[in-house]
Structure 1
Amino acid sequence: MTITKFTGGDAVTMSSREIADLVGSRHDSVKRTIERLVERKVVGAPPSVEYLDSLGRPAVEYLVSKRDSFVVVAQLCPEFTAALVDRWQELEEQAARPMTQAEITAANANHLVAVERQQREQQVALERIERRVEDLSQTVVWDHCPQNCQSLTRVKETMLKRHGLSGAVVDYVLRVWPNQPNPAGMVRNGHEEALGSQYLVWSKHHVTAAFHRFVSESTMVTATQATHPYFEGRFRLVQKVQS
């Protein structure tokens, strides 16, 4: 990873994503640790930069100073402090000497690969959105919700009762998750004040299958808190035995 310097200074920084890679932790866990240490005034507030995650969504990483990175790693996983020391030595050695022509060529090639990968990820995300829009444009519209379908409100009620999932997690699974179930159609809102608006409904079978998969792919970190590879941060999950 390319090292970064604060604007107007020579202080070398390490990104929170690289710290996460070094200690084998989730990036969101590293960021929460940094934020807690900042609140306690143990470390200084680091600058942040935006990047696109693997799904093409905007995300934020912190640029941590050398001193503060040791404090963060000590909080996360003390046995990996040695790995951090070794990495800082590499960064400082790289910063202390000019790059050779071969290193410049390699760095440019790596940057080009990273840009191309980011463009591919953005294209995949764009195609997913375009397919979603096309699917919605061809959606069936009913006057009444079919018995084998559920509205968003009913899905949230069901998943809260069945798995303890919050509305935000349900929204994510139905609208953002790469394996989201396609809507079955739309229903005209019969309330007078709705002014002819429509709302989406999903097949009960497809919703049940999608949430079963999402829950099966989740990892319990406490008795009631879980993580998922595609969902940033922890969420409440019950009725799932920790393995």
Structure 2
Amino acid sequence: MSSREIAELTGKRHDNVMADIRSMLSELKIDALTFQGIYLDSMNRQQAEYLLDHEHTDCLLTGYSAAMRMAVIKRWRELEAQAARPMTQAEITAANANHLVAVERQQREQQVALERIERRVEDLSQTTVWDHCPQNCQSLTRIKETMLARHGLSGAVVDYVLKVWPNQPNPAGMVRNGHEEALGSQYLVWSKSHVTAAFHRFVSESTMVTATQATHPYFEGRFRLVQKAQS
């Protein structure tokens, strides 16, 4: 059962259901990516969801109210009943058509993801590597500290703006990690001016819902925002 369907059945917000699932899987020491899927929303944008089996759905529901649990239990019974009885020819035709649509959608999503990865690899292959971080650049850790202090943005929102958002700033280059235990690894850095401009745009495009909560057209769910950028 998808996290979206669980949200619809329980009346909870989808982002809250996803947070509950991540918390549950963390306690079970299971990588959340094991259950993660991708769907296209009404604006044809890729969004994340979780696809749980019966066992993990039951586990999730233990923390929900009786009314919420009952709604999901009834839905599971409907699904099991549908699976138990023979399908009519019309249902078989509809199921085949839905499967074909799902396969085509998945192929499109995989192609988009592949193209994004290929562009990323190409960009990284041409990336400059420094021994020390230039003064006009910042690492991901430093950017998270800056945006938390400036706008109250969480690390998850910063990751989204830098790595997923369609208007994400390109990395300026990579820096060799000088620590001995790093074993010669490298980390990305971004131009301070590009980062400032990107977050100014992201924050300016956001809509305040409460005094400290906002939404953005490309970000699913609410996020903390304590100071909107001035236009």
TM bucket, shorter chain: 0.5 to 0.7
Aligned position for 1:41: none
C-alpha separation between the residues in 1 aligned to 2:20 and 2:189? 39
> 1:52-84 CA deviation, whole Å, 9 max, x = no partner?
12348673447679xx9992399xxxxxx9xx9
2:152–2:226 CA contact under 8 A, matched in 1 = yes
| 1:136 corresponds to 2:158 | no
Match of 1:165 in 2: 153
Which of 190, 209, 212 aligns to 2:197? It is 209
CA distance in 1, matches of 2:91, 2:195: 51
Q: Distance in 1 between matches of 2:193 and 2:169?
A: 10
The amino acid that maps onto 2:35 is E
Are residues 92 and 126 of structure 1, via their aligned partners in 2, closer, same or farther at CA, if it must alter by over 3 Å? closer
* Counterpart contact for 2:139–2:189, Cα < 8 Å: yes
- C-alpha displacement of 1:131: 1.6
2:106 pairs with one of 104, 109, 118: 118
Amino acid aligned to 1:123: Q
**Match in the other structure for 2:67:** 71
1:108-128 deviation digits (Å, cap 9, x = unpaired)? 111111122012112211221
Partners of 1:29 and 1:199 in 2: how far apart?
32
Residue equivalent to 2:140: 152
Q: How does 1:1-243 map to 2 (within 5 A)?
A: 16-18=3-5, 20=7, 26-30=13-17, 50=35, 52-54=37-39, 55=46, 59-61=50-52, 71-72=67-68, 99-189=87-177, 191=178, 193=180, 197-228=185-216, 231=219, 234-240=222-228
Equivalent residues of 1:56, 1:125 under 8 A apart: no
Comparing 221-230 with 165-174, which one deviates more in the overlay?
Answer: 221-230
Q: 1:52 is aligned with what amino acid? A: G
Structural RMSD (CA):
4.4
Contiguous gaps of at least 5 residues in structure 1: 1-13, 36-48, 75-80
Per the TM alignment, residue 231 of structure 1 is displaced from its structure 2 partner at its CA by 4.6
- Unaligned 5+ residue runs, structure 2? 23-33, 40-45, 59-63
Q: Could you say if the C-alpha distance between residues 53 and 192 of structure 1 is closer, same or farther in structure 2, counting changes exceeding 3 Å?
A: closer
Taking only the aligned residue pairs, the percentage that are identical comes to 79
Task: Report the CA distance between 1:151 and its aligned residue.
Answer: 2.3
Number of aligned residues: 203
When residues 206 and 108 of structure 1 are mapped into structure 2, their CA distance, relative to the original with a 3 A threshold, is same
SS for the counterpart of 1:206 is helix
Structure with the greater alpha carbon radius of gyration: 1
Contact kept, 8 Å, 1:142 with 1:188, in 2: the verdict is yes
Q: Distance in 1 between matches of 2:48 and 2:21?
A: 22
* 1:212 alignment partner, SS class: helix
Paired residue for 1:39? Answer: none
